[in-house]
Amino acid sequence: MFATAYPTAMSTRMLLASIHDVGPRSESAFDALQARFAELGVERPALLVVPDHWGEAPIRPGTRFATRLRSLAEEGHEIFLHGWYHRDTGTHSGVANFKAKHMTAGEGEFLGLGAIEAERRIREGRALLEDIIGRAVTGFVAPAWLYGEGAHAALRATGIALAEDHWRVWNPVTGAVLAKSPVITWASRTRMRRWSSLAVAAAARAVPLPKVMRLAVHPGDATSPELLASISATLASMLKTHRPARYAELQP
């Protein structure tokens, strides 16, 4: 296999594309999103995997889905642990309460967890996925990109080497910020959120972009032709100046 030759300017400008909420319950949406990425030139987006989505879709070793997940990792997809349940059952106050109400629909699982419980879920989730894929996970991304103090402490304790939120990618062990950029994503939950995400994506297609850009899609996006069209237009636009890249390339 020969590496793709990019112009020098583009070779230093990276696009990190990812599919979130990967699991047995979202497999058909995953297929549609992956096919759309591949059509536009992103053949191996990062996959953010939920071990047991909302407690209703456990990934079990030896199942057909587990076998497929291992094949995807072997093909070169980076695998991230993406919470455990992807469901927030905690109570919040202050700023955390605002985030829980307005930045997600009850899915900020790691926003209110204490350090002990957050560490348990990260350790058990990582062990499950690494047993299935036969290699280390690339990192951890909290559902809805929301982290509480307990989550940050757990990431340090477990030695997770890469995490991301809405605005940055960093190494939780060293604290080093590996990239600073917004993540372009879409929302399908309400008309207002759809409109807002479409507007942000359109703006991203019209302005100069940072050296490292991130683009993330979710299963719900596959249900909306309007969102899919925006995803395709945004991805195609970004690929004019940024090459598809791997999160691992950010590590020094």
Q: Does 149 fall in a domain?
A: yes
Coil vs helix vs strand at 182: coil
**Do the beta carbons of residue 100 and residue 67 sit within 8 Å?**
no
Q: Does 1 fall in a domain?
A: no
Q: Does 102 fall in a domain?
A: yes
Query: Among the listed ranges 15-29, 82-96, 157-171, 223-237, which one has the minimum average pLDDT value?
Result: 82-96
Query: Among the listed ranges 90-99, 102-111, 170-179, 192-201, which one has the minimum average pLDDT value?
Result: 90-99
Domain containing residue 103: CATH number: 3.20.20.370
| Mean pLDDT of the 126-140 span | 98
Q: Does 3 fall in a domain?
A: no
User: What is the extent of the structural domain holding 105?
Assistant: 8-250
Coil vs helix vs strand at 89: coil
Q: Does 211 fall in a domain?
A: yes
Q: Does 89 fall in a domain?
A: yes
| Confidence at 95, pLDDT banded by 50, 70, 90 | very low
Q: Does 141 fall in a domain?
A: yes
193, HSE (Cβ side, Cα atoms, 13 Å) = 13
Residue 164 β-bridge partners: 169
* pTM for the model: 0.90
Number of folded domains in the chain?
A: 1
Given this model, what pLDDT does residue 214 score?
A: 98
Given this model, what pLDDT does residue 105 score?
A: 54
Given this model, what pLDDT does residue 90 score?
A: 57
Checking if the pLDDT of 34 tops 60, the result is yes
| Mean pLDDT of the 29-43 span | 97
Q: Does 162 fall in a domain?
A: yes
Mean pLDDT of the chain: 90
Report pLDDT digits (tens) over 114-127: 999 999 999 999 99
Query: Among the listed ranges 6-15, 62-71, 107-116, 175-184, which one has the minimum average pLDDT value?
Result: 6-15
